[in-house]
Amino acid sequence: MAVHTHLGASLDKKGSVVSNAGGLDTIPFVNLDNLHGVSAEELYQRALQMQKNNCLTHGELSQVASALLQVQEVLDKGNQGKFVVRQARLSDLDALCNMVNYWAQQGENLPRSREDITRNILTFAVCVKDHEVLGCACLYVYDTGLAEIRSLGVNPLVQRQGQGRALVDFLVHRAWQFEIKKVFVLTRNPEFFAKVGFSKTTIEALPEKIRKDCEHCPKFDRCDEVAYEVNLPEKLEPKA
């Protein structure tokens, strides 16, 4: 099915322009397949690198930056009053520590020290509304290339409004961008993970987890968590 943009162009499901009835003169054809899985930050870094290699002028780099900022402005406007999920920053640290350790005290997650969270800040995503962190989660990558969602928690006052799903979707998408083949989770909340697209598996099928944490866990013989996983499709390479 094609999605019609208000610019007069038509995008198919993958974002390719399939027609441009309204504005041939003014609207450039952009094959968005080339942008599959590329973030605005990556686009800017690419442009910056090209400028350093003298392939772009300062002026062209400014054009790229201002276009990206305009996109951000439009999206921010559309997002006013709604939550967004983004990469965590060091300024989120207090909120992250509070959230992770609140859910650890409830027995839902493992406790983590401030040092541990700081060292792993790049692995965390946060869900934010009006500058307030409402939830968090992180993606832990094992040396075999599988990844686990950890430290997932949403403020108990705002649950069941989509934040948990948005955090999981964000990290699963990030895993896919990193060409990770499978994401798993150990949880006491299987209904939620079934709702967000994970399937039941067994802890024994996840030897990474057993080696890393389970062998040292006091509940090793009476584990009350269940394993859920999602297999990710091959990453589409942008067309040359």
Ligand X SMILES: CC(C)(COP(=O)(O)OP(=O)(O)OC[C@H]1O[C@@H](n2cnc3c(N)ncnc32)[C@H](O)[C@@H]1OP(=O)(O)O)[C@@H](O)C(=O)NCCC(=O)NCCS
Applying CB under 6 A, the residues found at the interface with ligand X are 103, 108-109, 152-154, 159-165, 185, 187, 189, 191-192, 195-196
CA torsion sign, 21 to 68 to 139 to 130? negative
As measured in angstroms, the least distance from the Cβ of 14 to ligand X is 25
Cβ nearer to ligand X, comparing 176 with 192: 192
As measured in angstroms, the least distance from the Cβ of 112 to ligand X is 13
Single out the residue of 139, 142, 131 nearest to residue 212, CA to CA.
142
Cβ nearer to ligand X, comparing 47 with 167: 167
d(CA 188, CA 108): 7
Cβ nearer to ligand X, comparing 89 with 195: 195
As measured in angstroms, the least distance from the Cβ of 191 to ligand X is 3
As measured in angstroms, the least distance from the Cβ of 194 to ligand X is 8
Q: Which two tokens stand for residue 158?
A: 């705002």
As measured in angstroms, the least distance from the Cβ of 183 to ligand X is 12
As measured in angstroms, the least distance from the Cβ of 61 to ligand X is 39
Cβ nearer to ligand X, comparing 17 with 166: 166
Cβ nearer to ligand X, comparing 20 with 109: 109
**Alpha helices, DSSP H only, in 120-178?**
163-177
Q: Which H helix or E strand runs over 186?
A: strand 182-187
Cβ nearer to ligand X, comparing 64 with 153: 153
Single out the residue of 170, 104, 174, 164 nearest to residue 134, CA to CA.
164
Maximal C-alpha separation, the chain: 69
CA distances in angstroms from 175 to 74, 138, 179, 231, listed in the order given:
27, 11, 6, 10
Q: Which residue is nearest to ligand X (CB)?
A: 164
